[in-house]
Amino acid sequence: MSVFHPPGSIKAQSHLPGEKLSLELADFYKVFGDFSRIRILFALLDNELYVNELAELLSMSQSAVSHQLRILRQNKLVRVRKDGKTSLYSLDDDHVYRILTEGLEHLSH
């Protein structure tokens, strides 16, 4: 007796990541669910900025910006470069740039 599989179900199953990876991916995308973090990421799109510059640009307190940067750093979305006693922040790599710009492109069509 043969088992019936709806068209595409076998192929769809081959694209499913494992449970652990699915949970990690869900946590990764949760980071993008915060308005302040999205604005920080877009401010850093083509810029390297100090915390005080980000705070002024986004009308946020320096402590609020620092808190969000800590979360973004922990999730490898931004990197920090020491400049004397201060720190400069930028996007971690081109992947982050593409995630942001692809999201905008998706929303605009």
Give the model confidence (pLDDT) of 67-84 as tens digits. 999 999 999 999 999 989
pLDDT at 89: 98
Q: How far from the centroid of its chain's Cα atoms is residue 12's Cα?
A: 26
What confidence tens digit (pLDDT) does each residue in 32-47 have? 999 999 999 999 999 9
Q: Per CATH, which fold does 36-107 belong to?
A: Arc Repressor Mutant, subunit A (1.10.10)
- Place 85 in a pLDDT band, splitting at 50, 70 and 90: very high
Mean residue pLDDT across the chain: 92
Distance CA 37, CA 25 (A): 17
